[in-house]
Structure 1
Amino acid sequence: MKKKHVLILFTVLALSVTSVMKLVPVSKVAASSILGGNNESILDKLTPTPEPGKSDKNEKDDSNVLGEKDSLSTNMTDSLTDLMNNLLSRVGDEEYSLLTKVLSQTDDDLIEDDSDTDDGDKDKEEKASISRVVYIGDSRTEGLRDVNSDSKNTFICLSSMGYDWMMSTAFPQAESYASSGTAFVILMGVNDLYHQNSYISAINQKAAEWKKKGAVVYFASVGPVQNDPYTSNSEIESFNRALKNGLSSDVGYIDLYGELNKSGYQTVDGTHYTNAVSKNIISFIGQQVALGGSGNSDPYATDGNKVWWCRNNKEMALLEYKVSDWTKFSGLDVNLRADTKIEAKLSDEIKKYEEELEAAAKEYGFEAYVELFKALAEQRHYDGKKGDIFNMSKTSLNPDPKKTLSRADSIKIAAELFADCIDAYSKMGEPHMPPQPTDTEALKSILQAFEFESDGFVDYCEGKYTLEKAEEYAKKKSGNTKRTDEAEIQQKGPWDFKDQKYPDKVLQFYFVQVSQTGGGGSFGFSLPSEALSDKEFMNMYNEISKYVQGNYPYVFGGSSPETSFDCSGFVCWVINHCGNGWNVDRTTANGLLSYCAEVKKEDAKPGDLIFFQGTYAEPGASHVGIVVGNNHFAHFGNPGKISDYTESYWVEHFLAIGRLNMKSATSAKSSD
């Protein structure tokens, strides 16, 4: 076992022993033998000692402790063991130093004072008591129903169903169960993964409503498939990630996907699980619901970052908090607070209507893009025009062209069109997923489709806006009619149909501030300010960020998202698909070196390539990545990740910094 893993193991095990010692009187000698060696001084620090002359207020008769707490002790030990195994099996090199910092943090404010009365603990336990679990799902949930033997469980499920059925049938049926003591577990999505934004909005809204009635709501992540011809696990992972990030604190997140991958599973047809697996799923979900009860994403959370605890589990609760609510370790698949800031720059006029715009975004399921929707309103409105703020009255979408739309109707029509354009993008290609709100190049196709008043343009340009594609589309729609006014041509394009140069006119009001200091899509470093204003690099970075969040493994010879990547395959893919119009052959690290002019290491800037030697038996450059700033580079180790090239390993193997000469690359390509 690696030294670093021993350190993590010791830290977790030490806290584990401390938790168990709270439940069962264990002598320090015995505990020392468990830890190995003479650790009495460590245990002295971990376990509080009553002051002289005072008794420990938590002290009880040993027989009572053993009788009352044995079950809880076992559950805690099992949970800690699972957590420890998870850490040891999944943490990678890049996360270790940060992980040790997290485990060494103290946050006494999160641990309530031991002077809380037993009545207080009793109240919390009663609050967490669940007498009924209502499962809402599709045919996989029917499989759970068919093997269920627990009268506490109720099932609302129907084969082949998705979002529309959930809204029209399942939720209305579930209303009668919404009361104190009920936990709803939603297992939807495998039949319509592209509806992720709609699911997020609907589940958040329903959870808030049912919370007022005393019920709690959980979302169980979509489980994996085996050779399903219609659905891939990468699509499922993307859906689960979106739900986990988008669901509110009123919704508990149960990682069923991770549990099945860890414990193993079998299907009968690629999608539906065997009876044995279905029984395990019911047991696992039941355990998660029993642990929770608060309805938050962390089973120990109440609100914000506070930890739900009783005096018997506070060490475990604090450890859970430190590991799961600090930052994103790519190897752990743990999400963090989002620091990447997206903001629409709005006039005072449009600011008056922000609440209405946000309500529409929530209603139509595109809350992740609400700032872009606001930017659209800013671009389309006329000063002092309080009614039709999206200027939709003169569009083909106005049901009565003779009338000017009200503000409510203007927002409604705009929201419907905007949602359709996002949905069209989500359904394209493999995997089906919407664009990242930070990916302004991908958003351009949605904005242009909005201007053309048809989501069909998204399909037409295959989700990649170019002026040429917009002009081709406009030419067809105009019936080959050209504009004659030179100023209008310069402003909107040559064909007499809408504005073919529309996206940038909206994006001037849409600002993405990528602050890599600990947030949703961050990697533990800060992009330098000059990088944020470098359009070509930000195009590269938007492409890079899709593949370096621990979701793509290293595959020798891999050169696309379908196969995953090796180091040179990843760099070639980014260069060719970032939207800068560049093109290089699929080549090796040495081959990429030939496209570059060497620069000094201290002169490296974001977008440069960085080369290493001797990482394996390959002469010359054996590894390559892309510099992203502040001594960090994106590369495919295992998995794709962002690393610090001032670390000793990379310093030892450093070869060169190369600045891409794309003119050279283009001419080399054309001469082949």
Structure 2
Amino acid sequence: MEPEERFSVSASGLSPEVVALKPDFLEAMKEVGMPEKYIDLLLAICMQESGGRVEDVMQSSESLGHSLPNQIDKKTSIKQGVKVLWNNIKAIGEKKVEESEERLKTAVQAYNYGGGFISFMKPHDHKYSKSLAQQFSSMQAAIQGWGSYGDPEYIDHVWRYLKKANGNGAANVTGDFKKILDSILPFDGQPYVFGGKNPSMGFDCSGIVSWAYAQHGITFPSYTVTQWEQSVPVERSEAKAGDLIFFRGTYGAPDFISHIEFYIDETTMYGSNSSGVGYHNHTDPYWQEHFAGIRRLVK
């Protein structure tokens, strides 16, 4: 039986604040002997935890024994965050993690849940699945008497910033669309704002698309129905990065064209929705249920 594909990714959609922290991460990794191949993963975790916009960039305060979050500075937070993830990987086994991305996902989910998740996953050969992550969350919430425990969607949230280094997709977007996408990547991680049309307001789905085009002299309305009307249909088999992917009935009437994002590849889109500005998976059942079509702006 051949080993599973080894983990090799590049991070994209990172904020300037997170990118600026890369030297600090590399220094912390060197101190604990963590291989540099995990740098993009750590930056993706940092993006999910804080976007680099607070002092406790890795949200590490509580793992250091503080009763409240955001009690430490950036360097301390990074050192502790690196240590926690590296300890999780070693607890599963470095070689085993290297052989299986699903085991690495268990180590990353344990960054959010705590080390108990690694023990919970041992009977499953430490191979992550979302259903097991949800099961652990429900179990811990019941034990603690809380309404919820951790983030069962944590892997999806971190992996939206990661692309296979040798694959197609967002990490390899080129040409004119790369310039348009680069215009909005600095806002990655910001929350969705209904009616938001610019950086000072925040962005909704149609607003971020319209604003991105405007930065390159392209006039495109900021209303989904009009955006649909002013673009032409494209077959899925012909879709390319930079096309527009539309959805209907996410609010309002079932047939109302209510959501738009930039199409990236066969699984990925980029835009602003209820989970914030960032990369999203348009093959998720929710989006497939509301899929309306892929279209192209003909300039």
What is the TM-score of this pair, normalised by structure 1? 0.26
TM alignment of 1:474-553, pairs within 5 A: 516-517=163-164, 526-527=168-169, 532=173, 534-548=174-188, 551-553=189-191
Instruction: Tell me what 1:558 maps to.
Output: 196
Instruction: Tell me what 1:622 maps to.
Output: 258
- Contact 2:190–2:277 under 8 Å retained in 1: yes
Task: After TM superposition, give the deviation of residue 622 of structure 1 in Å.
Answer: 1.0
Instruction: Tell me what 1:306 maps to.
Output: 90
Instruction: Tell me what 2:208 maps to.
Output: 570
1:643 equivalenced with 2:280 (yes/no): yes
Aligned partner letter, 2:288: V
Instruction: Tell me what 1:652 maps to.
Output: 289
Provide the rounded CA distance (Å) in 2 between the counterparts of 1:634 and 1:300.
Answer: 27
Task: After TM superposition, give the deviation of residue 518 of structure 1 in Å.
Answer: 7.6
Match of 1:255 among 60, 64, 69: 60
Instruction: Tell me what 1:590 maps to.
Output: 225
TM alignment of 1:372-451, pairs within 5 A: none
SS of structure 2 residue aligned to 1:651: helix
- Contact 2:169–2:268 under 8 Å retained in 1: no
SS of structure 2 residue aligned to 1:306: helix
SS of structure 1 residue aligned to 2:293: strand
| Alpha-carbon spacing, 1:518–1:561, altered in 2? closer, same or farther (3 Å) | farther
Provide the rounded CA distance (Å) in 1 between the counterparts of 2:218 and 2:228.
Answer: 16
Provide the rounded CA distance (Å) in 1 between the counterparts of 2:241 and 2:227.
Answer: 17
Provide the rounded CA distance (Å) in 1 between the counterparts of 2:193 and 2:295.
Answer: 24
Task: After TM superposition, give the deviation of residue 240 of structure 1 in Å.
Answer: 5.3
| Alpha-carbon spacing, 1:257–1:238, altered in 2? closer, same or farther (3 Å) | farther
Identity %: 20
SS of structure 2 residue aligned to 1:650: helix
1:610 equivalenced with 2:252 (yes/no): no
* Structure 1 segments unaligned to the other structure (5+ residues): 1-104, 106-192, 212-235, 245-252, 266-280, 310-317, 340-515, 520-524, 663-672
Which whole-Å deviations, capped at 9, do the CAs of 1:11-56 have from their partners, x for residues lacking one?
xxxxxxxxxxxxxxxxxxxxxxxxxxxxxxxxxxxxxxxxxxxxxx
SS of structure 2 residue aligned to 1:616: coil
Aligned partner letter, 1:536: D
Provide the rounded CA distance (Å) in 2 between the counterparts of 1:654 and 1:611.
Answer: 6
SS of structure 2 residue aligned to 1:238: coil
Count of paired positions: 210
Provide the rounded CA distance (Å) in 2 between the counterparts of 1:331 and 1:204.
Answer: 27
Task: After TM superposition, give the deviation of residue 588 of structure 1 in Å.
Answer: 0.9
- Contact 2:62–2:68 under 8 Å retained in 1: no
Provide the rounded CA distance (Å) in 1 between the counterparts of 2:29 and 2:295.
Answer: 52
Task: After TM superposition, give the deviation of residue 257 of structure 1 in Å.
Answer: 10
| Alpha-carbon spacing, 1:299–1:648, altered in 2? closer, same or farther (3 Å) | closer
| Alpha-carbon spacing, 1:297–1:627, altered in 2? closer, same or farther (3 Å) | same
Task: After TM superposition, give the deviation of residue 320 of structure 1 in Å.
Answer: 5.1
Task: After TM superposition, give the deviation of residue 239 of structure 1 in Å.
Answer: 5.0
- Contact 1:541–1:628 under 8 Å retained in 2: no
Provide the rounded CA distance (Å) in 2 between the counterparts of 1:567 and 1:258.
Answer: 36
Task: After TM superposition, give the deviation of residue 539 of structure 1 in Å.
Answer: 1.5
Instruction: Tell me what 1:238 maps to.
Output: 52
Instruction: Tell me what 1:366 maps to.
Output: none
- Contact 1:555–1:563 under 8 Å retained in 2: yes
Task: After TM superposition, give the deviation of residue 563 of structure 1 in Å.
Answer: 2.3
Provide the rounded CA distance (Å) in 2 between the counterparts of 1:608 and 1:537.
Answer: 9
SS of structure 1 residue aligned to 2:208: helix
Task: After TM superposition, give the deviation of residue 568 of structure 1 in Å.
Answer: 0.6
Task: After TM superposition, give the deviation of residue 264 of structure 1 in Å.
Answer: 7.6
SS of structure 2 residue aligned to 1:298: helix
- Contact 1:300–1:307 under 8 Å retained in 2: no
Task: After TM superposition, give the deviation of residue 607 of structure 1 in Å.
Answer: 0.8
Bigger Rg, which one: 1
What is the TM-score of this pair, normalised by structure 2? 0.52
| Alpha-carbon spacing, 1:257–1:571, altered in 2? closer, same or farther (3 Å) | farther
Provide the rounded CA distance (Å) in 2 between the counterparts of 1:255 and 1:589.
Answer: 40
- Contact 1:540–1:574 under 8 Å retained in 2: yes
| Alpha-carbon spacing, 1:617–1:628, altered in 2? closer, same or farther (3 Å) | same
Task: After TM superposition, give the deviation of residue 628 of structure 1 in Å.
Answer: 0.5
SS of structure 2 residue aligned to 1:569: helix
* Structure 2 segments unaligned to the other structure (5+ residues): 5-15, 34-49, 94-104, 113-127, 129-150
SS of structure 2 residue aligned to 1:545: helix
Provide the rounded CA distance (Å) in 1 between the counterparts of 2:181 and 2:190.
Answer: 16
| Alpha-carbon spacing, 1:254–1:606, altered in 2? closer, same or farther (3 Å) | closer
Provide the rounded CA distance (Å) in 2 between the counterparts of 1:626 and 1:528.
Answer: 11
Provide the rounded CA distance (Å) in 1 between the counterparts of 2:195 and 2:24.
Answer: 42
TM alignment of 1:334-373, pairs within 5 A: none
- Contact 1:635–1:642 under 8 Å retained in 2: yes
Aligned partner letter, 2:207: G
Provide the rounded CA distance (Å) in 2 between the counterparts of 1:647 and 1:206.
Answer: 36
Provide the rounded CA distance (Å) in 1 between the counterparts of 2:200 and 2:214.
Answer: 16
Aligned partner letter, 2:185: S
Instruction: Tell me what 1:156 maps to.
Output: none
| Alpha-carbon spacing, 1:576–1:320, altered in 2? closer, same or farther (3 Å) | same
- Greater relative contact order structure (CA < 8 Å, 6+ sep): 2
Instruction: Tell me what 2:234 maps to.
Output: 599
SS of structure 1 residue aligned to 2:218: coil
| Alpha-carbon spacing, 1:600–1:331, altered in 2? closer, same or farther (3 Å) | same
- Contact 1:526–1:630 under 8 Å retained in 2: no
Instruction: Tell me what 1:108 maps to.
Output: none
Instruction: Tell me what 1:324 maps to.
Output: 111
Provide the rounded CA distance (Å) in 1 between the counterparts of 2:25 and 2:284.
Answer: 44
Task: After TM superposition, give the deviation of residue 204 of structure 1 in Å.
Answer: 6.9
Provide the rounded CA distance (Å) in 1 between the counterparts of 2:267 and 2:236.
Answer: 10
Instruction: Tell me what 1:388 maps to.
Output: none
- Contact 1:595–1:660 under 8 Å retained in 2: yes
